[in-house]
């Protein structure tokens, strides 16, 4: 038996600033319980980026990638990749014009069997600075047992105590959605430790930058494009050439917060291309090889390791619980 209620109640008080209790990071099942409370019960689809399409391709590390990380995926060989493009939110039928994140999840597996998963979004910041704030935001936005809507006063109190949780929403409101899965950058948002061939460990965030350039919907297209244009548009592109992204590492400067994914680092920080992802095929419809993959293998010691960003420490466990619930 899981004692969910006491954990959630204590957590919600602390998150709202109404109690001084110190709490441990929320357990994976508590995180997913909170997501279900706010977004609906997990059945077949992911609670985040429920709408998605599987693709395949490969990744090749650059010489600089091999210098900056001894992880096998950067050694210059062609590494097969299973790829998933997604549209933010739990609704698998959401419109492709929605002002939400677009997702790029990748599983790479070297010929020797080394696996590395990554998950990136089309926004340079995450929605919460800590697991506690993430769960707290979900709790105050959950409906009551009788279907009652969230309490506006509780939401306002939470936001006042956690202002950085608004950063992602502000960015989405200020930027039109991508015109293609192939014309938006995908940000890792979290910092990782990369151990180089010289033995030095460097903190960096990654971004997959589209070689096709940046293109967003116009204000007119936002109101006229069909609800399911993104996958077909990507398939048309792939009929003539692969879709490619440069994987770029961005390094922090003095004063940059390396453990808060709700704050983007300035664009002028040092950046180095460490590899190229080529997308070569998209599944004919929803479903495919990416469906049972949940991007759990986030670290690949010694070349890639988690930073002290607290949201990383709980992510794999929460993904595992989510995967178990949608495949039960």
Give the catalytic positions in this structure: 49
Other beta carbons within 10 angstroms of residue 16's beta carbon come to: 18
Is residue 59 within 8 Å of residue 277, measured between CB atoms? Answer: yes
Neighbours of 286 (CB within 10 A): 13
Name 94's Cβ contacts closer than 8 Å, sequence gap at least 6.
Answer: 50, 51, 87, 88, 100, 227
Give the separation between CA 240 and CA 238, rounded to whole angstroms.
5
Q: How many residues does the chain have?
A: 328
At a CB cut-off of 8 Å and minimum separation 6, what does 59 contact? Answer: 73, 78, 79, 81, 106, 108, 247, 275, 276, 277, 278
CB 186 within 8 A of CB 208: yes
Distances (CA, A) of 93 to 42, 46, 97, 192, 247: 15, 12, 12, 33, 30
């Amino acid at each position: 038996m899981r004692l969910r209620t006491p954990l959630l109640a204590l957590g919600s008080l602390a998150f709202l600033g109404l109690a001084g209790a110190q709490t441990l990071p929320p357990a994976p099942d508590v995180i997913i319980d909170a997501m279900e409370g706010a977004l609906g019960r997990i059945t077949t689809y992911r609670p985040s980026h429920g709408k998605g399409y599987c693709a395949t391709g490969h990744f090749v590390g650059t010489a600089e990638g091999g210098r900056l990380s001894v992880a096998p995926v950067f050694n210059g060989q062609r590494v097969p990749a299973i790829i998933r493009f997604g549209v933010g939110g739990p609704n698998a039928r959401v419109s492709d014009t929605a002002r939400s994140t677009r997702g790029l999840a990748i599983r790479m597996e070297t010929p020797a069997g080394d696996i590395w998963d990554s998950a990136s979004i089309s926004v340079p910041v995450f929605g919460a600075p800590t697991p506690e704030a993430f769960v707290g935001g979900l709790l105050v936005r959950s409906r009551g047992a009788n279907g009652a809507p969230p309490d506006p006063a509780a939401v306002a109190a939470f936001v006042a105590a956690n202002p950085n949780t608004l950063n992602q929403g502000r960015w989405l409101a200020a930027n039109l959605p991508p015109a293609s899965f192939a014309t938006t950058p995908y940000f890792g948002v979290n910092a990782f430790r990369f151990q180089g061939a010289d033995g030095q460990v460097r903190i960096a965030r990654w971004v997959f930058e589209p070689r096709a350039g940046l293109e967003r919907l116009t204000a007119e297209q936002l109101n006229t494009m069909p609800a399911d244009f993104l996958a077909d548009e990507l398939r048309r592109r792939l009929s003539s050439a692969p879709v490619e992204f440069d994987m770029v590492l961005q390094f922090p400067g003095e004063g940059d917060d390396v453990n808060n994914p709700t704050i983007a680092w300035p664009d002028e920080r040092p950046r180095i291309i460490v590899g190229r992802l080529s997308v070569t095929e998209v599944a004919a419809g929803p479903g495919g090889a990416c469906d049972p993959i949940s991007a759990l293998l986030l670290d690949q010691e010694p070349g890639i390791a988690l930073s002290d960003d607290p949201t990383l420490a709980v992510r794999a466990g929460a993904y595992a619980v989510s995967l178990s619930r949608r495949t039960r």
